[in-house]
Structure formats: C-alpha cells, structure tokens
Chains A and B, each alone.
Chain A
Amino acid sequence: MENLVDIIIVGAGPAGLSAAVNALARGKTVRIFSNRENYLSKAERVDNHLGFYNISGKELMDKFKEHAEAMNIKIEEGKVVNILPMGNSFMVNINGEIAQSKKVILTMGISNVKELSGESKLLGSGVSYCATCDGMLYRGKDVVVWDQSNDAWEEANFLQGIGVNVTFVSKKPAPENLNNINFVKGTITEIIGSNSVEAVNLGNEEINCNAVFLLRDAIAPTSLIEGLKLNGNFIDVNKNMETNIEGVYAAGDITGRPLQLSKAVSEGLIAAQHAALQIDKKER
C-alpha cells in the first residue's frame, strides 16, 4: 500500500506531540497534522506541569515543538476532513490528499463547534465542509463561503477560480488575499432549504444560494468518523484511550475533564504505546 505509515495523529497540541514522541520511541512511523494554534500557547502562565514552575503557555508549547523537531517529527499543516476505517487500515483525507495508516490518534482538543439550524439536515444537500471536495459540483452556481478559519479565503479563491459564483461572509473585514469576490459582513444564523440549500440567514438579511461552505478550523469528531461514540461533548475512551472504533484512539482535552496539560501529555503516551503494541502483536 502506498503512503502507509503506522500512526496518523490528528492535532499537534500537548497530547498529539506526546503521542508522536512516544510512537517514535517505539519505532513506529508517524505523520502528524495540525491546522490551528492550540489553547496551551494562549495560556498566560502555567504552574501545575511538573518541572516547569512559572512558565508561559507559549514558552512551554515552543519547548514541546523543539522536542518533537529534535526527534525529526514534522508537523504538517492541514485540516483532516474525514477518516475511513478499511478493516486493517485507515484512509485519511487531509484537504484532498489521501494518507493511510494502521492506527489513528485523535488529539484535536476541545472545539466550540456550534451547529447551525439546518446544518445537519442539509449536509450533503448543499452544506459542505470542504471546498476542494465538493466545489466542482457548483460551477456556474451561487455559493456562500462562511469565513471561520484563517485559510477560508484560500478556499473561496479556489471556488471562484473554478467558475463558482462566490459570496464571502465574515464578521471580520475582508481578508487581504481574497480575490475580487463579493464580500458581505455578517454572521450566518440559519441555513434555509427544504430538500437542498436555498438561502442563508444573516439575521438582518437573507442571501439566496445553492450551497454554503462552512469553513471552520475544526470539524466535529462525529463528522470525521462515522459511528464514533461520544460521552457528552467528549469522545468516549477506555483506559487504553481506545474509542469504540477499533484502531482509533483519542487523547487530551477531546476525551474530557480535567482539561489540563499533564493529563493530555500522559494520555498521548498511553494511546501511542498501546497503538504501537497492537501493531507489534499483529506483525510478530
């Protein structure tokens, strides 16, 4: 199988990097993807991670990255859009590039993805999370791109480039790099349509469209993998950090409280070591 690595890690915060370091320590090949800054780097001061009294979150995160880099771990920029179990392996779609692995570890942290009215009902019927995946179906049609991540403008430019009529909606001023694209300042509150998307509601106005691309920097874990079991808002795991889907692990804030650095680091280790052990058992 081409591009097959042992473990793909989604997210490069403390849990993800800890998983990467420990997988490598067990002789496993790893790819790690990230598309956003994590919460640790925003913490003003951290006092409860053993060995690092009075340090800023950013300093600590930089140290974690240095550690990973020293072990030749390269954090790849990219948003994981979906993950498909294939029996003995997984196919992972990173913004259109397909990678394959034997195990997957999810360490995306907590996400404040708030679902819009009409979103899940119309998903696949005009609601899309990935411009490069569905864009071609809307050539010559009207679509709205909702800016909720730093690279949404790139996807809007891509859509316009293939011949889609794009309206870019953002609560921030128009991004510098946005092509000559119709810009509307606002926030989408509702997606309207019975069988397919007909319009989006911005509170004070409606924009008619055939599709809406919701380009958030996080995708709800249950949209990533079909059938993933949750416990409240978090991913359900056992003491080995295994989810209900064989070969898929979760670690860090995404598995629940306490939302603390030390817990994330140790869960990353547990997940990676267990995954490595399972791979060894199978290949022995």
Chain B
Amino acid sequence: MQETIDTSMIDWSRAQFALTAMYHWLFVPLTLGLAVVMGTMETIYYRTGNAFWKRTAKFWMKLFGVNFAIGVATGLILEFQFGTNWSNYSWFVGDIFGAPLAIEGILAFFMEATFIAVMFFGWEKVSRKFHLASTWLTGLGATISAWWILVANSWMQYPVGMVFNPETMRNEMVDFMAVAFSPVAIVKFFHTVLSSWILGAVFVVGVSCWYLIRKREQAFARASIKVASAVGLFASLVTAATGDQSAYQVAQVQPMKLAAMEALYDGSAHAPLTVVGPVRIPEMLSVLATHSRDGFVPGINDLLQGGYPLADGSTALSAEEKIERGKMAVNALADYRQASKAADSVQMEAALATLQQNMPYFGYGYIRDTASLVPHVALMFWSFRIMVGLGVYFIFLFALLLFLTWKKSSFFDQSGWLHQIGLWSVPLAYIASQAGWIVAEVGRQPWTIQDLLPVNAAISHLETGSVQTTFFIFLVLFTVLLIAEIGIMIQAIKKGPEDI
C-alpha cells in the first residue's frame, strides 16, 4: 500500500509551530517597544545629566532584560522548527527563505548580543556616550532582526523573486532585492514594529499607572507616562496607516484571507464594510480593497467557484480548476524527471512547457479538498475586529494621556479611574498583538507559501507521537517559563526603581 502522510501529524506540527510563534510573540513586541522607551529616557539623561532619568531608564531596562531572555529562547526554537517540522519546506524554498534568516543572525543577533552586555554591565565601565549608543544599538539590533524575519514571513505571503528549477526540484532566488524589499515586506515591517512600540508604550503606561494608584514613585510614573504616550501615539497613528495599506495588499495577493477577515461569502461591487453585526459602512470594503467605490471584492464562494472578473480583465478560475492545473504541473514535473533520466530531450521540453504553464497553481496540486482552502472564518473575522478596535482605542488613549500629562497634570493626578484604565490596558495590548498574528497567519492557511506549497506538502516525515510529545513539552515549558517571567516582573515592579 502506498504510504501517505498522517493528517494528524500535520495538525500537530501546525499546532506546535503556532504555539511557539504565539509564545514568542508575547515577548518580542515588548522588547521592541521597551527598547524605544528606555532609549529615549537614557537620551534625556545623556542630554540633561539628570540622574532621575538614569534611574528611570534602568528600571525599564531591568524589565527588558527579563523579557529579552525568554524571547531569545522561544526564537531559537522557531528558527530550527523550519527544519525539524517543515523539512520539505526547507528544501523546496530554502534557497530563498534561508537567506533572510542567515542575514538576521549575522547583522542583527550579534548586534543585540554584543550591546545588551554593554547596556547591562557597562554603566561603570564605558563612557556615557558609548553606553547610550549601546542601548540604542540593542534596540536597533532587535529592529533589524524584525526586518529580516518579516521579510521571510512576507515572502511566505507573497512569494516573489524566484523561479522553480525542475533539475533541483526547488525554487531558486533570482532577484534578492525583490525578496528583501517587496512592498508586502515594507508595509508588514512598519505595521508590525510600530504596533510593537504600542505594546511597549501601553506596558510602560500600565505599570506607571499602578504606581500612581499605589501613590508610589509618582514623579517616576508621570515621567514614564509622558515618554510612553508620545511614543505610543506616534506608533498608533503609523500602525493605523500601514494597516490600511496592508489590507489593500492582502486584497490583491491573498483575496481568500480578506474574504475570511470580512466573513464575506458572496462578493460584489460597491461592497460594504461590516463593522459588527448589522452595522455596515456602504462601499467601504470596495474602497479599502480596490481603492475604488465600485471595485469588485470576491467572497469565499466566488473564490471557490471562480468566474468573476479579475483586475487584468481575465476571468478567475474555480478552485477545482486550479487543483486540476496544479496536478498537471506536478505530473509534468514527474514527466520531466523521467524524460531527463531517459535523456529524452523532446519529452523534457514538452513536460517543461506544461510545467511552466501551470506553475502558478503548483501548490494546488496537493490540495485534496476545496474546503481546506478556506481559513477559519469566525476566528479571522473576530480577530481582525479585535485588532482594529483596540488599535483605534489606543490612539484615543495615548492622545488623552499625552494631553493630560502635559497640559492638565493636576487633573490627571487626581483621576484614579484613568489610572485604572491605563493599568487594564496592558492585557488589551497583548490581545491586540496576538489577534494581529492570528489574522496574518491563520489567514494564510492552508498555505505555507501562498499558492505554492500547502502544509501537507511542506511537512517532515515524522510519527505523530513524536510531534505530540514535543508539543506538550513545549506547552509545559513555555507556560512554566511565562508564569516565572510574570512572577519576576511583578516582584520587580513591586520593588520599584532602585536608588543609584
């Protein structure tokens, strides 16, 4: 009997990767966000010489250090899981995908690792200028790291700059600039990194509000809120703007993701945007997705059944037709290989022509059921709304905090309710951040690389039991470490900034 992949093994591998990614994403945004806040504070210390700012910066650095360690640990697992759990993926696109990971290591990780040591241990050993540079370089390293990993992730959403080589049976890079600076990567970078600044800023606001509620360290807390609100407001506005661009790109390159985000089953021109329930904004979805009021936005059924007009004037294929053409591509590849072994150049040429003609649908050849082409609609719909709703909330929160702390400080000091809002906004920032990744990654399913390689063809040849075991080990390990991290953070916050 011919061996087939165990579908439960695929699901466990997906679960393991999702688990690791979601835990990793609890820590990385705080690293990126706090880096800007503490860098700004140390810059003020450098310029004014006021020890108050040194004490303030050092407190946030302490929390940064606790968070950084666990972010590094989860990141290590993510990188190697491409090999351990997605070995076919690693070969099929490793020629393109490996490069950003290697560059990330060379350019970003060493920068972080080097200068974080100076940041923590160099206060009495290097000049103030060198120390300040080290603090910023630690944050810059983290940001460069984000750039390259987001380049890699964007390529999975929008594969460009490569061709398939039937001799080596893989995709090969032909245009590095197209990969490194794809429009999807640029937008994703600013959207993701700036949204991380929001999380960092909300964290600083929340912790500072806790001090105000407890009537402790009030000068420290007010100063921290001022800096964090300024960073947060800027970041919120840029995140909103890039979010709009991101949605437009999704509509062009991943229409199924957009349809799932909107729970749009039957598309139309002049499509309204569903806010929640029956509340709709007329024509808004068409405007956002096509930049035209009468633009056609395909729904899930349209994408499965095809037959709607595409932007280039052609008619969309149905999912069945795409699967058929995908199978033709895969079979043509088999024919090519066979002809190559037989040194039959005529057959090779014919097979190659068929392969190239159907290559855009290659991944569809492995799809067994058209229903699997639809991501989880309810999860997508609500995650998207939670992310956008909280994003709007943060704009108002930061604008209000900034105004009050600068212009109405006595009113702000007496507004206990506002301090409570600040404190309870911290979990909201994490929820928004996780919701964003759910939209991006669940929306890509079932593809590891959009239209090119579905999860069932990207997998490693393992037993389900092995992946189940490692899944639960990771679950326990990361959960225990998360609880430990939160415990340490709480104790450090209770203790407060130390005297210098």
Answer yes or no: are A and B bound together in one complex.
no
Interface of A with B (CB < 8 Å)?
none
